[in-house]
Amino acid sequence: MFSYYLDLAVRSLKRSPGLTALMVLAIGFGVAASMTTWSVFRAVSGDPIPWKSSKLFVPQIDVWGPQGRSSDGEPPNAMAYPDAMVLMRDHRAKLQSAMYQISPSVVPAQAGRHPLNVSGHAVYSEFFPMLDVPFLYGSGWNASDDTQRTAVVVISSKLNQKLFAGANSVGKTLNIESKDYRVVGVLDNWNPQPRYYDVVNSGGFSATGEDVFLPFERAIEVGMSNDGNTNCNAVPAESGFVGLQHSNCVWIAYMAQLDDAAAVTAYRNYLDGYAHAQQQAGRFGWAVNNRLRDLPAFLDNQHVVPSDTKVSLLVAIGLLLVCLVNTVGLLLAKFLRRSGEIGVRRALGAPRSAIYAQFLTEAGIIGAAGGVLGLLLTGVGVACVGWVLPKSIATLARLDLPLLALTLLVAVVATLLAGLYPTSRAARVQPAWQLKSN
Amino acid sequence: MPHIKPILAALKRHKAGTILIALQIALTLAIVCNALFIIQQRVTRLSRPTGMDESNLVAIQNRWVGVTDAAAAGVLTRADVLALRQMPGVQDAVQVNAFPLRGGGWSTGVRVDVDGKKPIAHTTQYFMDEHALATMGVKLIAGRNFRADEVVTTDPDKIQTSPQAIVSKALADKLYPDGSALGKPIYLGDDRTPSTVIGVVERLQVPWGAAWTDDFAENSVILPVQLTGNFSTYLIRAKPGQQAELVKAAPAMLTKLNRLRVITGDRGVRTFEVVREQAYKSDRGLAILMGVICLILLAITAAGIVGLTSFWVGQRRKQIGVRRALGATKHDILSYFLTENLMIGIAGVVIGALMAVGLNLWMVTQFEMARLSMAYVAAGVIALLLLGQAAVLAPAMRAAKVPPVEATRSV
């Protein structure tokens, strides 16, 4: 029976090619616009570490008091050095790391090659297991390297390719800021987006990955300056990088892994206890105002998804909606024009369900055709996002199988929904009326 | 003007089609108004002038390698600047901590009263020497430029208050609304000693183009300071027609001067055209996207009206024939369909205008967007009514051509 309806539908669509083309175009453009903007939205709003994000927490300590808070009463989104060091020393979470952004120069060992500028982070050893960072060769360093400030480095596979031609470079030496570091690990391809461990500095997204990770205290000791944001509520009393470390300026990102609700509560109490102690010591002259958000909540709080992306998606969905209303109107016209034919079929004994099946098949074919057109246009759209979006975001939008499947599904389901009302009107056609008036 | 009553009576028999067209017009209006408004806001932002003569500027970001002493790096940087100024094809050059639209710079609060608690305005700080105005091509409208002997070279961590400052007119007017800023003191950050305004420039934008700087977009202070340190940024003004040449020649000359440096990456060497494009990329992108969506929307709505009206004309051929046989002119039939469309259109735009305002109000709460200006709603209403009339014209003319003899034929 279905093949018969297919045949009927194709014949009917051929009879009015203009109207059919119009409906297919409308569905195609509507779906393509929605899917292209969706691919961008999906890329920027995805959970960068879905298996673990609910266990990763970002503590915030109100080091500035009421004067330094933003209008919504939020404490600073980064940490001052003294607080970060106490939190690291107390070590109350299962895994934790303070970190700051660095941008050292690397001098290749081969003579005659120009020095490179690389970016990276100074982190603690627990950074790697906490974030399940994948290694191609070697591993991270251990806790004793943290405290002994060992000159070790973890490099990206890209830098490894550039400097060591992709070979296992563990144990080799790398000249960073004129000092020698021993390579202990080479990362597998790792550039999570958003760069969730430090969204404050990356703004969330960055087209190029990070190349080096050094022990935090080592970087501090050699005076490797902060390449990320530094926010101060007062000019530091002492000058230089050491002055920054003694100040209340915030420039350190912090992350802790807390496995269950009890651990979260305990950590929250610990943070509040710390703020109380600072109050008693006279450093904080205000009520405790800490935050401890899990990663998804923190990303949301930091508005990591650009609002432009949301606006684009909304407007594109609006376009799809208009296209569907348009399709409802055109299908209605198309179906009711065939009232005579429906009347004859009904009079010859076709039940209403047969009319439903026939016309929904027709709507489905239009949806499928629109979906195929939508697929092509989505391909074009995703290829073109580089023109209209910054590189860091445009490179994230990808055309993959789920997106293709979703495009077809949305097109067919939306058109079937649009076809429901016209079909129900067609099924209600009175056979007697039609036969008489002809 | 045909009578409205028979049109209403006819529309009642096509409730679903009428409602669908009106709904489509309403939704289109709501989306198009807001999209056009977004376009206008973004285009206004990205076409703001920086105040500089942008056409011949080249920016270079340099980083010293293996120089651990900030003062030593300062000496190398100074040598770079002097060498750049000597280059053929270079009109002038200056070392800067930041420049308009660079994306990254310094900002601070500014007071006019030493004991003032709250800053009066927010401003960016540019550290440049006496070549700043000539290089950037900024117009000095009052006072004087820095003198070479006023320029201080210092480590970024040891900056002292500069006795002299050149401010942008926007900032001058904010701090001293009576226009008397020249010669008056300003206090930057939590300085206790003042800087005296020695000059006012017509316009100078901050280093950022994003929305969060909108309320201090042209508040700038230039201080006669040259920062030392591992990074140095140069702004070079090419002689007319020499810019393309300089983009290659300047980094080559610098590398020849001293190899231990890095001039690479996204911000390594940029003409100002590129700087501007990068600064406003997402604004321009959103405007283009909204424009494309508007065009598709209007095209689909127009095509939908054509399609549905054509169907109605086909359905009513017999009635049209009867009317023609009873004496109606072609013009009567044409204006019947135009009026019918106008009535549906009016219903649609009334609902659409309400939806446009509602959608905007919701977006204001969600996305920190500005309030929709009513001029956009009005323009959208007129545009959609005209679009409807244009779309209905072809089917209506076909209707007008239906001969009276149609009345006598059975379908």
Name the residue among A22, A105, A316 with its Cβ closest to that of B307. A22
Cβ–Cβ below 8 Å for A316 and B28: no
Residue B156: which of B231, B90, B65, B221 has the closest Cα?
B231
**Contact assessment for residue A265 and residue A90, using Cβ atoms and an 8 Å cutoff:** no
Cα→Cα distances A257→A206, A263, A267, A298, B89, Å: 24, 9, 10, 14, 58
**Contact assessment for residue B29 and residue B35, using Cβ atoms and an 8 Å cutoff:** no
B265 DSSP assignment: S
The position carrying tokens 């900030």 is B70
- pLDDT over 90 percentage in chain A: 54
Q: Which residue of A lies nearest to B33 if distances are taken between CA atoms?
A: A315
Contact residues on chain A for B290, CB-CB shorter than 8 A: 312, 315
A398 pLDDT higher than 60: yes
Domain ranges of chain B: 4-46+282-408, 66-259
Radius of gyration, CA atoms only, chain A: 31
Is residue A19 within 8 angstroms of chain B, CB to CB?
A: yes
Helices A401-427 and A352-388: crossing angle in degrees, nearest 10, is: 140
DSSP readout, B348-402? HHHHHHHHHHHHHHHHHHHH-PPPPPHHHHHHHHHHHHHHHHHHHHHHHHHHHT-
DSSP readout, A16-40? SHHHHHHHHHHHHHHHHHHHHHHHH
Q: How far apart are CA A419 and CA A335, in angstroms?
A: 10
All residues at 6 or more sequence positions from B84 whose CB lies less than 8 Å from its CB, including other chains:
B90, B93, B234, B236, B250, B253, B254
Q: How far apart are CA A27 and CA B290, in angstroms?
A: 18
In one letter, which amino acid is B316? Answer: R
List the structure tokens of A417: 């929904």
Q: How far apart are CA B33 and CA A320, in angstroms?
A: 17
Cβ–Cβ below 8 Å for A117 and B300: no
Q: How far apart are CA A100 and CA A121, in angstroms?
A: 5
**Contact assessment for residue B66 and residue A105, using Cβ atoms and an 8 Å cutoff:** yes
A65 DSSP assignment: -
Contact residues on chain A for B23, CB-CB shorter than 8 A: 325
Cα→Cα distances A212→A81, A106, A191, A305, B67, Å: 21, 10, 12, 26, 20
Q: How far from chain centre, in Å, is Cα A307?
A: 13
Cβ–Cβ below 8 Å for B296 and A33: yes
* Straight-line distance from the first to the last Cα atom of chain A, in angstroms, rounded to the nearest whole number: 28
Cβ–Cβ below 8 Å for B307 and A316: no
The position carrying tokens 């969600």 is B366
**Contact assessment for residue A257 and residue A55, using Cβ atoms and an 8 Å cutoff:** yes
Beta carbons within 10 angstroms of residue A432's beta carbon: 10
B215 DSSP assignment: G
Q: Considering only residues 34 to 53 of chain A, which have any Cβ-Cβ distance to chain B shorter than 8 Å? A: 37
Cβ–Cβ below 8 Å for B367 and A307: yes
In one letter, which amino acid is A382? Answer: V
Q: How far apart are CA B408 and CA B411, in angstroms?
A: 10
Give ∠ CA B311-A317-A335 in degrees, rounded to 5: 25
Residue B286: which of B49, B45, B26 has the closest Cα?
B45
- Its ipTM equals 0.84
Name the residue among A177, A307, A332 with its Cβ closest to that of B368. A307
List the structure tokens of A415: 């058109």
Cα→Cα distances A87→A98, A252, A255, B169, Å: 9, 12, 10, 47
Cβ–Cβ below 8 Å for A22 and B304: yes
List the structure tokens of A385: 């996002």
A306 DSSP assignment: -
Residue A338 pLDDT class (50, 70, 90 cuts): confident
HSE-CB at B80 with a 13 A cutoff on CA atoms is 32
pLDDT tens column, A242-282: 888 999 989 999 999 999 999 999 999 999 999 999 999 98
Beta carbons within 10 angstroms of residue B176's beta carbon: 17
Q: What is the mean pLDDT of each run of 10 residues along chain B (411 residues)?
A: 74 84 94 92 91 93 81 90 93 94 86 83 92 94 93 83 93 91 89 91 92 87 91 93 92 89 81 91 89 92 89 84 89 90 93 94 84 90 93 91 80 48
A430 pLDDT higher than 90: no
For residue B166, the cross-strand partners are B199, B222
In one letter, which amino acid is A259? Answer: D
Q: How far apart are CA A396 and CA B4, in angstroms?
A: 56
Report the pLDDT value the prediction gives residue B298, as an integer from 0 to 100. 93
Helix (H) or strand (E) holding B221: strand B220-227
Is residue A435 within 8 angstroms of chain B, CB to CB?
A: no
The Cα of A281 is separated from the nearest Cα of chain B by a number of Å equal to: 25
Contact residues on chain B for A328, CB-CB shorter than 8 A: 20
A3 pLDDT higher than 90: no
Report the pLDDT value the prediction gives residue A328, as an integer from 0 to 100. 92
A110 pLDDT higher than 60: yes
Average pLDDT over residues A14-35: 90
Q: Considering only residues 232 to 291 of chain A, which have any Cβ-Cβ distance to chain B shorter than 8 Å? A: 234-236, 239-241, 243
**Contact assessment for residue A137 and residue A118, using Cβ atoms and an 8 Å cutoff:** no
The Cα of A270 is separated from the nearest Cα of chain B by a number of Å equal to: 34
Cα→Cα distances A170→A155, A201, B1, Å: 10, 29, 88
Report the pLDDT value the prediction gives residue B392, as an integer from 0 to 100. 92
Q: Reduced to 3 states, what is the DSSP secondary structure of residue A429?
A: coil
Cβ–Cβ below 8 Å for A105 and B301: no
Q: Reduced to 3 states, what is the DSSP secondary structure of residue A120?
A: strand
Cβ–Cβ below 8 Å for B31 and A390: no
Secondary structure percentages of chain A, helix, strand, coil, to 5? 55, 15, 30
Cα→Cα distances A137→A154, A212, A333, Å: 10, 14, 66
Give ∠ CA A192-A193-A199 in degrees, rounded to 5: 100
A183 DSSP assignment: E
Cβ–Cβ below 8 Å for B301 and A321: no
The Cα of B234 is separated from the nearest Cα of chain A by a number of Å equal to: 18
Radius of gyration, CA atoms only, chain B: 32
Q: Which residue of B lies nearest to A27 if distances are taken between CA atoms?
A: B300
**Contact assessment for residue A105 and residue B262, using Cβ atoms and an 8 Å cutoff:** yes
Give ∠ CA A391-A375-A331 in degrees, rounded to 5: 130
All residues at 6 or more sequence positions from A62 whose CB lies less than 8 Å from its CB, including other chains:
A69, A75, A76, A275, A284, A286, A288, A289, A290
The Cα of B372 is separated from the nearest Cα of chain A by a number of Å equal to: 15
Q: Reduced to 3 states, what is the DSSP secondary structure of residue B20?
A: helix
Could you tell me where the DSSP H helices lie in B233-373?
Answer: 243-257, 272-279, 281-315, 317-325, 330-367
Global pTM?
0.83
The Cα of B331 is separated from the nearest Cα of chain A by a number of Å equal to: 26
Contact residues on chain A for B307, CB-CB shorter than 8 A: 18-19, 22, 329-330, 333
A231 DSSP assignment: B
More confident residue, A19 or B138: B138
Cβ–Cβ below 8 Å for A105 and B65: yes
